[in-house]
Amino acid sequence: MGAQMSPIRTCASHCRDCNRHFAGDGAFDRHRGGSFMGDGRRLDGRHCKNPERDDWYEAIEGECRIADPDAPAKQITIWRQRGAEERTKGLARNKAAVA
């Protein structure tokens, strides 16, 4: 039996302002600071926060298929919530136990 390859991780969203990639909308939203006006227009204070300075994040390697699904950008850094993989595995175990 051959070695099992881990699945390729892909980003779910990326920021056009700073070009960082994120595992999901929650991780993306956390990296944006400032606020919008009530009508959705951007205020001058809206900015990107560096995930490297936030212990909530962990970096994983993956690829981005958002810009071009047929030619993904490879070996990119994807930012996600620290410990997300362990929580996902735990949910899968719990779901299997219930079934």
pTM higher than the cut 0.75: no
Least confident segment among 4-8, 25-29, 46-50, 63-67? 4-8
Instruction: Please choose, from the candidates 5, 10, 7, the residue with its C-alpha nearest in 3D space to the C-alpha of residue 72.
Output: 10
| Residue recorded with tokens 């205020």 | 43
* Domain residue ranges in the chain: 13-98
Per-residue pLDDT of 37-47, as tens digits, reads 655 565 567 78
Residue 84's CB is within 10 A of a number of other CB atoms, namely 16
**What are the CB-based long-range contacts (under 8 Å, 24+) for 43-51?**
48/15, 48/17, 48/18, 48/20, 51/20, 51/27, 51/79
